[in-house]
Chains A and B, each alone.
Chain A
Amino acid sequence: MDNQDNSIIVKNLTKKFSFPLKDPSSSWIKNIIAPKNKEIVAVDEISFSIKRGERVAFIGPNGAGKSTTIKMLTGILFPTSGSVNILGLDPTKDRKKLAYKIGTVFGQRSQLLPNLPLTDTLELFGVMYDMTNADIKARIAELVKLFDLTPFIDQPVRKLSLGQRMRAEVAASLIHKPEIILLDEPTIGLDVVAKKMLRDLLLKINKEEGTTIFLTSHDVGDIEILCNRTIVINHGKMVKDLPTEDLAKTFVFEKYIDLIPEISFELFPDLPVGIKYLLKDKEKITVSMDVKKIDVRDAIKKLLDLFKVEDINVYSADLETVIRHIYEKDSQIL
């Protein structure tokens, strides 16, 4: 296999969870002894591979299976079927070996010791990854410089702001120079400035250390600025896998029109060729139009003939809209 270029190879990855379902009609003893099980498919036959040094965004709405996938990649969860190969290792068999080669950040959870300054956590992790004391010291100095940690390096971690703490988290997961860093919602809860800072940092380590970046997010900014490739999943299934630029380009030929009624819309007649309903509401209609099939002027004219409109708004899709539409109506748009 072409393991040399690829950091991550995922084939037909599937994860099903089953959990006991409480049946209110039968007794509680019966519910304990012989519970009915319900099965949900969290990740459904996903396949992709990621090259060394790539920056990949794994996006989807809440509950799409992003975290489950990241947990399978790191060896926390075992797949129900399918396979994962990371840097030539199988996470289900070589979790510990793999741990030396990857770094992980979970945006909503801290891996730092809250009551001590960051250096203590960094040292502890360094020892955990079998680094020599000299190496640890050198690496800490490097990270402090790279991540600009000096202003708060002596403070107990619990006193850091959320933005500072995320920088610290990422620094901590890079102590052992991992080849891949996996981040689960790293920018969640951060303000604009802190987000930008974190993205810049990740770009920097990708450029300077060649670290492969794999992150899950539902923040479009993460994808647009940071990642050169985007994988979209929804309901556990892969919806799209394409260069981030193309994701936007796919929708260049599409425009959206919002119509606001004079009083309210009662009828929703068929639309001319090239125009499709996205939203049918008494208060607002949204349509998408394909500029290859109908030009904007004609479209507006025809729409004004059909509806009594007080206001009209024409716009192109930005990435955020694109992804929102993918989430909401993937089958219709794609």
Chain B
Amino acid sequence: MFKEIKFALYAIKKNIQSSAELRTSFMMNIVGMMINNSAFIILWVFFVKSVGVIGGWTAADIIGLQGFAALSYGVIFSVAVGIRKLPDYVASGSFDRFMLSPKNLLMRVATSAFNASSAGDVIFGAICIIVYGFLIHATTVQVLFAIALIILAVMVFFAIALIANSVSFFITDASGVVTGGLFELFLTPSLFHGGAFQGVMRFIFTFIIPALLIGAVPVEAIKNISVHQLIVTTVMAFVWLFISIKFFYKAVKRYESSNFMTFGV
């Protein structure tokens, strides 16, 4: 296991090096993504301005929410962006090379590429969370909560990304339209104003499509120092991680190694 992780880290390092080789593109991607993310903050600040406080959520909480979402998105889709490439790997038959690898299949696939723009998400997310900490005058307990919740949010994000993209083993989806669409069902609500989720909607997006677990719930848990929410998030994160890995290996059994031509028109 230790060897596997060591190799995964080595692969990540190599990926980052090769991506940073094109420095202009690398920097542009990071900066571009940070501007891109700021758009959401602007949007929600305007929202809070015109709509007022909903469900106890202030503009500061929105910044925290965007921070959590961006950070978990960024961590997974930078170092483990191979997951998002699964549909392409499967359709093109290049998944073969991972099957032939002597290392752990899932880790090998996940760390097969690096995405510079998501590094922008990581930086953006980290800044947002730090800003949020200052805005709410975070105590030591809250900081510890935040650290734990960041790890849990990343786990949930990984699990859902893996499940959505593993669907590509069951259907031909070279451009990732279906898996991308499925994943959006999780991502879109996660970026939405957390205070607006009440009742049934809150239940669905916590337990069935765990979108709130990568942003809204962590923010509320930190704000209210809610041990209850922390426990719920922890349990859910481990359950989803377990399910996703099981699902991935089940899906791999459906893999049909195909040879794909590149089509010009």
Contact = CB atoms under 8 A, between A and B. Distances in A.
Contacts of A133: none
B263 A32 contact: no
Contact of B23 (A28, A109, A110): A28
B264 A32 contact: no
A114 B24 contact: no
A110 B24 contact: no
B188 interface: no
Interface size class of B (residues with CB under 8 A): under 10
B100 interface: no
A109 B264 contact: yes
Interface residues of A, number: 13
Contacts, number: 26
A222 B262 CA distance: 24
Nearest to B260: A158
B261 interface: yes
A182 to B, nearest CB: 15
Contacts of B260: 158
Nearest to B26: A28
Most chain A CB within a 10 A radius of its CB, from B23, B260, B262, B263: B263
B222 to A, nearest CB: 40
A277 to B, nearest CB: 43
Interface in B207-265: 260-265
Interface in A87-142: 106, 108-114
A165 B262 CA distance: 12
A108 to B, nearest CB: 8
Contacts of A111: 264-265
A186 B24 CA distance: 38
A325 B261 CA distance: 33
Interface string A302-313: 000000000000
Nearest to B21: A22
B261 A158 contact: yes
Contact of B261 (A106, A113, A165): A165
B22 to A, nearest CB: 10
Interface of B: 23-24, 260-265
- Which 3 residue pairs of A and B lie closest in terms of their CB atoms, listed nearest first? A109-B264, A114-B263, A110-B263
5 contacts: A28-B23, A110-B262, A110-B265, A162-B261, A165-B261
